[in-house]
Amino acid sequence: MNAEVIQPPQLTNKRLLLLGVSSVVLCISFIMAIFAPFPLAMASILYGRTKGFLIGILGLVLTLSFALLMYRDVTLMGFYFMVLILGLGIGEIANRGISPVKGIVILGFGFMTLTGALMFTYLKSQNVTLEQYIVRELKSSSDKLAEQKEIIAKSTDKNSIELLQLLDRPDLLAKQMITALPMYFFVGVFIMLWFNTFLALKSRRLLLSGQDHTFSEKNLLNFKVPFTVIYPLIAGLAMAVFGEPYGLETWGLIVVQCLGVFYFFQGFGIFSDLLNFLGIKGFFRTLLVMVTIFMANYLIAVAGLFDNWFDFRKYFVKRKTED
Protein backbone atom coordinates (compact mmCIF):
# COMPACT_ATOMS: atom_id res chain seq x y z
CA MET A 1 0.00 0.00 0.00
CA ASN A 2 1.34 3.42 -0.94
CA ALA A 3 1.86 5.39 2.26
CA GLU A 4 1.46 8.65 0.35
CA VAL A 5 -2.15 7.96 -0.69
CA ILE A 6 -4.58 10.05 1.37
CA GLN A 7 -8.30 9.46 1.73
CA PRO A 8 -10.13 11.71 -0.78
CA PRO A 9 -11.67 14.72 1.01
CA GLN A 10 -15.40 15.23 1.34
CA LEU A 11 -16.18 18.21 -0.86
CA THR A 12 -18.44 20.14 1.49
CA ASN A 13 -19.23 23.84 1.36
CA LYS A 14 -17.53 24.26 4.74
CA ARG A 15 -14.26 22.98 3.32
CA LEU A 16 -14.61 25.27 0.33
CA LEU A 17 -15.22 28.24 2.64
CA LEU A 18 -12.23 27.19 4.74
CA LEU A 19 -10.00 27.27 1.65
CA GLY A 20 -11.16 30.81 0.85
CA VAL A 21 -10.63 32.02 4.41
CA SER A 22 -7.21 30.33 4.52
CA SER A 23 -6.06 32.29 1.48
CA VAL A 24 -7.11 35.54 3.19
CA VAL A 25 -5.37 34.60 6.46
CA LEU A 26 -2.17 33.69 4.61
CA CYS A 27 -2.34 36.96 2.67
CA ILE A 28 -2.76 38.99 5.86
CA SER A 29 0.02 37.11 7.67
CA PHE A 30 2.67 38.70 5.36
CA ILE A 31 5.31 36.12 6.38
CA MET A 32 3.35 33.22 4.84
CA ALA A 33 1.73 35.34 2.12
CA ILE A 34 3.84 33.60 -0.53
CA PHE A 35 1.60 30.53 -0.09
CA ALA A 36 -1.71 32.44 -0.31
CA PRO A 37 -2.50 31.28 -3.91
CA PHE A 38 -2.37 27.61 -2.86
CA PRO A 39 -5.83 27.37 -1.18
CA LEU A 40 -7.46 29.10 -4.16
CA ALA A 41 -5.73 26.74 -6.58
CA MET A 42 -6.96 23.75 -4.55
CA ALA A 43 -10.49 25.18 -4.46
CA SER A 44 -10.46 25.34 -8.27
CA ILE A 45 -8.95 21.84 -8.59
CA LEU A 46 -11.26 20.10 -6.10
CA TYR A 47 -14.50 22.04 -6.64
CA GLY A 48 -14.18 23.28 -10.21
CA ARG A 49 -13.25 26.66 -11.67
CA THR A 50 -16.68 28.27 -11.03
CA LYS A 51 -16.67 27.63 -7.27
CA GLY A 52 -12.97 28.43 -7.14
CA PHE A 53 -13.65 31.79 -8.76
CA LEU A 54 -16.59 32.56 -6.44
CA ILE A 55 -14.62 31.71 -3.29
CA GLY A 56 -11.81 33.93 -4.60
CA ILE A 57 -14.24 36.83 -5.03
CA LEU A 58 -15.46 36.25 -1.46
CA GLY A 59 -11.85 36.39 -0.30
CA LEU A 60 -11.40 39.64 -2.22
CA VAL A 61 -14.41 41.16 -0.41
CA LEU A 62 -13.12 39.97 2.98
CA THR A 63 -9.67 41.38 2.26
CA LEU A 64 -11.12 44.73 1.18
CA SER A 65 -13.21 44.92 4.36
CA PHE A 66 -10.23 44.05 6.54
CA ALA A 67 -7.96 46.51 4.73
CA LEU A 68 -10.41 49.40 5.11
CA LEU A 69 -11.24 48.67 8.76
CA MET A 70 -7.75 47.88 10.03
CA TYR A 71 -5.32 49.70 7.74
CA ARG A 72 -7.53 52.21 5.91
CA ASP A 73 -5.49 51.35 2.85
CA VAL A 74 -6.47 49.20 -0.14
CA THR A 75 -2.91 47.99 -0.80
CA LEU A 76 -3.71 44.67 0.88
CA MET A 77 -6.67 44.16 -1.47
CA GLY A 78 -4.37 44.84 -4.42
CA PHE A 79 -2.02 42.12 -3.24
CA TYR A 80 -4.92 39.70 -2.78
CA PHE A 81 -6.08 40.47 -6.32
CA MET A 82 -2.64 39.31 -7.46
CA VAL A 83 -3.02 36.19 -5.29
CA LEU A 84 -6.47 35.55 -6.82
CA ILE A 85 -5.17 35.67 -10.41
CA LEU A 86 -2.17 33.44 -9.65
CA GLY A 87 -4.23 30.95 -7.61
CA LEU A 88 -6.90 30.56 -10.29
CA GLY A 89 -4.19 30.43 -12.96
CA ILE A 90 -2.47 27.54 -11.16
CA GLY A 91 -5.84 25.81 -10.93
CA GLU A 92 -6.23 26.16 -14.69
CA ILE A 93 -2.76 24.68 -15.28
CA ALA A 94 -3.82 21.60 -13.30
CA ASN A 95 -7.37 21.34 -14.64
CA ARG A 96 -6.38 21.70 -18.30
CA GLY A 97 -3.46 19.29 -18.05
CA ILE A 98 -0.90 21.89 -19.14
CA SER A 99 2.80 21.17 -18.65
CA PRO A 100 3.62 22.82 -15.28
CA VAL A 101 6.85 24.38 -16.57
CA LYS A 102 5.14 25.79 -19.67
CA GLY A 103 2.18 26.93 -17.57
CA ILE A 104 4.35 28.76 -15.04
CA VAL A 105 6.29 30.58 -17.77
CA ILE A 106 3.14 31.63 -19.67
CA LEU A 107 1.22 32.60 -16.53
CA GLY A 108 4.19 34.47 -15.05
CA PHE A 109 4.96 36.57 -18.11
CA GLY A 110 1.27 37.04 -18.87
CA PHE A 111 0.62 38.29 -15.34
CA MET A 112 3.56 40.72 -15.47
CA THR A 113 2.39 42.02 -18.86
CA LEU A 114 -1.11 42.55 -17.48
CA THR A 115 0.28 44.31 -14.39
CA GLY A 116 2.48 46.56 -16.54
CA ALA A 117 -0.45 47.44 -18.83
CA LEU A 118 -2.70 48.29 -15.87
CA MET A 119 0.03 50.41 -14.28
CA PHE A 120 0.69 52.24 -17.55
CA THR A 121 -3.04 52.90 -18.03
CA TYR A 122 -3.42 54.20 -14.48
CA LEU A 123 -0.40 56.51 -14.73
CA LYS A 124 -1.71 57.86 -18.04
CA SER A 125 -5.09 58.57 -16.47
CA GLN A 126 -3.35 60.44 -13.63
CA ASN A 127 -1.05 62.24 -16.10
CA VAL A 128 2.03 61.45 -14.01
CA THR A 129 5.23 59.47 -14.48
CA LEU A 130 6.03 56.46 -12.33
CA GLU A 131 8.60 58.48 -10.40
CA GLN A 132 6.14 61.30 -9.75
CA TYR A 133 3.52 58.81 -8.58
CA ILE A 134 5.92 57.13 -6.12
CA VAL A 135 7.07 60.51 -4.75
CA ARG A 136 3.44 61.54 -4.28
CA GLU A 137 2.63 58.32 -2.42
CA LEU A 138 5.72 58.68 -0.22
CA LYS A 139 4.76 62.22 0.73
CA SER A 140 1.20 61.12 1.52
CA SER A 141 2.65 58.47 3.85
CA SER A 142 4.79 60.95 5.77
CA ASP A 143 3.43 59.76 9.14
CA LYS A 144 4.47 56.15 8.46
CA LEU A 145 7.85 57.32 7.18
CA ALA A 146 8.35 59.32 10.37
CA GLU A 147 7.74 56.17 12.41
CA GLN A 148 10.29 54.29 10.31
CA LYS A 149 12.81 57.09 10.84
CA GLU A 150 12.46 56.79 14.60
CA ILE A 151 13.01 53.02 14.43
CA ILE A 152 16.05 53.40 12.15
CA ALA A 153 17.49 56.21 14.32
CA LYS A 154 17.50 53.86 17.32
CA SER A 155 19.10 51.09 15.28
CA THR A 156 22.80 50.28 15.58
CA ASP A 157 23.02 49.18 11.95
CA LYS A 158 25.98 50.75 10.14
CA ASN A 159 23.72 51.71 7.21
CA SER A 160 21.17 53.51 9.38
CA ILE A 161 22.55 56.99 8.59
CA GLU A 162 22.35 56.35 4.85
CA LEU A 163 18.78 55.07 5.23
CA LEU A 164 17.76 58.16 7.18
CA GLN A 165 19.23 60.42 4.50
CA LEU A 166 17.42 58.45 1.83
CA LEU A 167 14.08 58.75 3.61
CA ASP A 168 14.55 62.53 3.66
CA ARG A 169 14.85 62.54 -0.13
CA PRO A 170 11.67 61.03 -1.64
CA ASP A 171 12.97 61.72 -5.17
CA LEU A 172 16.12 59.61 -4.63
CA LEU A 173 14.10 56.92 -2.86
CA ALA A 174 11.69 56.81 -5.80
CA LYS A 175 14.56 56.35 -8.28
CA GLN A 176 15.99 53.48 -6.24
CA MET A 177 12.57 51.87 -5.99
CA ILE A 178 12.07 52.11 -9.76
CA THR A 179 15.42 50.38 -10.26
CA ALA A 180 14.88 47.61 -7.69
CA LEU A 181 11.15 46.86 -7.79
CA PRO A 182 10.97 45.28 -11.30
CA MET A 183 13.60 42.72 -10.33
CA TYR A 184 11.95 41.90 -7.00
CA PHE A 185 8.57 41.71 -8.72
CA PHE A 186 9.88 39.35 -11.41
CA VAL A 187 11.61 37.04 -8.92
CA GLY A 188 8.71 37.17 -6.46
CA VAL A 189 6.09 36.25 -9.08
CA PHE A 190 7.99 33.21 -10.36
CA ILE A 191 8.97 31.96 -6.91
CA MET A 192 5.36 32.24 -5.79
CA LEU A 193 4.17 30.45 -8.92
CA TRP A 194 6.70 27.62 -8.67
CA PHE A 195 6.14 26.78 -5.01
CA ASN A 196 2.34 27.05 -5.14
CA THR A 197 2.13 25.01 -8.35
CA PHE A 198 4.37 22.38 -6.74
CA LEU A 199 2.14 22.21 -3.63
CA ALA A 200 -1.07 22.15 -5.69
CA LEU A 201 0.09 19.34 -8.00
CA LYS A 202 1.45 17.28 -5.09
CA SER A 203 -1.78 17.76 -3.12
CA ARG A 204 -3.87 16.81 -6.16
CA ARG A 205 -1.83 13.64 -6.68
CA LEU A 206 -2.30 12.63 -3.05
CA LEU A 207 -5.96 13.65 -2.59
CA LEU A 208 -7.19 12.48 -6.01
CA SER A 209 -5.00 9.39 -6.23
CA GLY A 210 -7.67 7.40 -8.06
CA GLN A 211 -7.45 9.65 -11.11
CA ASP A 212 -4.84 9.64 -13.86
CA HIS A 213 -2.86 12.87 -14.19
CA THR A 214 -0.56 13.63 -17.11
CA PHE A 215 1.62 15.91 -15.02
CA SER A 216 2.57 16.07 -11.35
CA GLU A 217 4.92 18.04 -9.10
CA LYS A 218 7.71 15.70 -10.27
CA ASN A 219 7.74 17.55 -13.60
CA LEU A 220 8.78 20.70 -11.72
CA LEU A 221 11.62 18.83 -10.02
CA ASN A 222 12.96 17.97 -13.48
CA PHE A 223 12.93 21.64 -14.49
CA LYS A 224 15.62 22.27 -17.11
CA VAL A 225 16.61 25.75 -18.28
CA PRO A 226 17.38 25.84 -22.04
CA PHE A 227 21.13 26.00 -22.63
CA THR A 228 20.79 29.16 -24.77
CA VAL A 229 19.76 31.13 -21.65
CA ILE A 230 23.42 30.96 -20.59
CA TYR A 231 24.33 33.60 -23.20
CA PRO A 232 22.16 36.43 -21.79
CA LEU A 233 23.32 35.33 -18.32
CA ILE A 234 26.96 35.78 -19.38
CA ALA A 235 26.08 39.18 -20.84
CA GLY A 236 24.43 40.14 -17.56
CA LEU A 237 27.46 39.03 -15.56
CA ALA A 238 29.74 41.06 -17.85
CA MET A 239 27.59 44.18 -17.37
CA ALA A 240 27.48 43.64 -13.59
CA VAL A 241 31.28 43.30 -13.32
CA PHE A 242 32.54 45.71 -15.99
CA GLY A 243 29.57 47.97 -16.68
CA GLU A 244 29.91 50.51 -13.84
CA PRO A 245 31.71 53.17 -15.98
CA TYR A 246 28.90 52.90 -18.54
CA GLY A 247 26.00 52.84 -16.08
CA LEU A 248 25.22 49.19 -16.89
CA GLU A 249 26.11 47.61 -13.55
CA THR A 250 22.56 47.78 -12.16
CA TRP A 251 21.04 46.39 -15.36
CA GLY A 252 23.54 43.55 -15.30
CA LEU A 253 22.57 42.64 -11.74
CA ILE A 254 18.89 42.69 -12.70
CA VAL A 255 19.51 40.30 -15.61
CA VAL A 256 21.57 37.93 -13.43
CA GLN A 257 19.02 37.85 -10.61
CA CYS A 258 16.02 37.44 -12.91
CA LEU A 259 17.61 34.57 -14.82
CA GLY A 260 19.03 33.15 -11.60
CA VAL A 261 15.55 32.32 -10.33
CA PHE A 262 15.13 29.78 -13.15
CA TYR A 263 18.49 28.18 -12.36
CA PHE A 264 17.33 28.04 -8.73
CA PHE A 265 14.37 25.90 -9.82
CA GLN A 266 16.71 23.58 -11.72
CA GLY A 267 19.07 23.39 -8.76
CA PHE A 268 16.22 22.72 -6.34
CA GLY A 269 15.30 19.59 -8.30
CA ILE A 270 18.92 18.40 -8.05
CA PHE A 271 18.94 19.16 -4.32
CA SER A 272 15.72 17.17 -3.89
CA ASP A 273 17.24 14.18 -5.72
CA LEU A 274 20.33 14.44 -3.51
CA LEU A 275 18.16 14.26 -0.39
CA ASN A 276 16.37 11.23 -1.83
CA PHE A 277 19.71 9.58 -2.57
CA LEU A 278 20.92 10.23 0.99
CA GLY A 279 17.65 8.87 2.38
CA ILE A 280 16.80 12.06 4.25
CA LYS A 281 13.04 12.20 4.96
CA GLY A 282 10.48 13.54 7.39
CA PHE A 283 10.83 16.62 9.56
CA PHE A 284 14.61 16.83 9.23
CA ARG A 285 14.27 16.94 5.42
CA THR A 286 11.70 19.75 5.65
CA LEU A 287 13.93 21.68 8.06
CA LEU A 288 16.99 21.19 5.85
CA VAL A 289 15.08 22.34 2.74
CA MET A 290 13.79 25.48 4.47
CA VAL A 291 17.23 26.40 5.88
CA THR A 292 18.88 25.84 2.50
CA ILE A 293 16.29 27.92 0.64
CA PHE A 294 16.68 30.89 2.96
CA MET A 295 20.39 30.64 3.74
CA ALA A 296 21.98 29.10 0.63
CA ASN A 297 19.63 29.85 -2.27
CA TYR A 298 22.54 31.16 -4.36
CA LEU A 299 24.32 27.82 -4.02
CA ILE A 300 21.22 26.04 -5.33
CA ALA A 301 21.11 28.43 -8.30
CA VAL A 302 24.81 27.84 -9.00
CA ALA A 303 24.22 24.07 -8.87
CA GLY A 304 21.41 24.50 -11.39
CA LEU A 305 23.70 26.50 -13.66
CA PHE A 306 26.59 24.02 -13.60
CA ASP A 307 24.19 21.13 -14.10
CA ASN A 308 24.20 22.14 -17.77
CA TRP A 309 27.75 20.74 -18.01
CA PHE A 310 28.03 18.15 -15.24
CA ASP A 311 24.53 16.56 -15.10
CA PHE A 312 24.71 15.91 -11.35
CA ARG A 313 21.85 13.41 -11.36
CA LYS A 314 23.88 10.79 -13.24
CA TYR A 315 26.29 10.60 -10.31
CA PHE A 316 23.42 9.78 -7.95
CA VAL A 317 22.26 6.97 -10.25
CA LYS A 318 25.79 5.62 -10.67
CA ARG A 319 26.37 5.44 -6.91
CA LYS A 320 22.99 3.80 -6.38
CA THR A 321 23.91 1.12 -8.94
CA GLU A 322 27.24 0.49 -7.23
CA ASP A 323 25.50 -0.01 -3.91
Containing structural domain, residue 295: 222-323
Domain membership flag for residue 105: no
Q: Average model confidence (pLDDT) for the chain?
A: 84
pLDDT higher at 219 or 143: 219
Domain membership flag for residue 234: yes
- Confidence class of residue 319 from pLDDT cuts 50, 70 and 90? very low
Domain membership flag for residue 98: no
Q: Which long-range contacts (CB under 8 A, 24 or more apart) does 311-318 make?
A: 312/270, 312/273, 312/274, 313/270, 313/273, 316/273, 316/274, 316/276, 316/277
Does pLDDT of 2 surpass 50? no
Mean pLDDT of 22-39: 89
Least-confidence region, from 11-25, 70-84, 142-156, 285-299: 142-156
Domain membership flag for residue 10: no
Mean pLDDT of 296-316: 87
Least-confidence region, from 168-177, 244-253, 302-311: 168-177
Instruction: Summarize pLDDT for 276-291 with one digit per residue, the tens.
Output: 888 888 888 888 888 8
Least-confidence region, from 1-15, 206-220, 292-306: 1-15
Domain membership flag for residue 301: yes
User: What's the pLDDT score for residue 86?
Assistant: 95
Instruction: Summarize pLDDT for 35-71 with one digit per residue, the tens.
Output: 999 999 999 999 999 999 999 999 999 888 887 777 6
Mean pLDDT of 86-115: 93
Domain membership flag for residue 314: yes
Of the candidates 297, 234, 229, the residue with the CA atom closest to the CA atom of residue 267? 297
Mean pLDDT of 10-21: 88
Domain membership flag for residue 164: no
What whole-number distance in Å separates Cα of residue 215 and Cα of residue 201? Answer: 8
User: What's the pLDDT score for residue 208?
Assistant: 81
Mean pLDDT of 196-212: 86
What whole-number distance in Å separates Cα of residue 265 and Cα of residue 254? Answer: 18
| CB-count burial class (<10 Å; 0-12, 13-18, 19+) for 2 | exposed
Instruction: Summarize pLDDT for 117-160 with one digit per residue, the tens.
Output: 998 998 898 888 888 888 887 777 666 666 666 666 666 666 66
Domain membership flag for residue 43: no
Q: Any idea how long the chain is? A: 323
pTM listed for this prediction: 0.85
Total domains in the chain come to 1
pLDDT higher at 303 or 168: 303
User: What's the pLDDT score for residue 157?
Assistant: 63
User: What's the pLDDT score for residue 321?
Assistant: 44
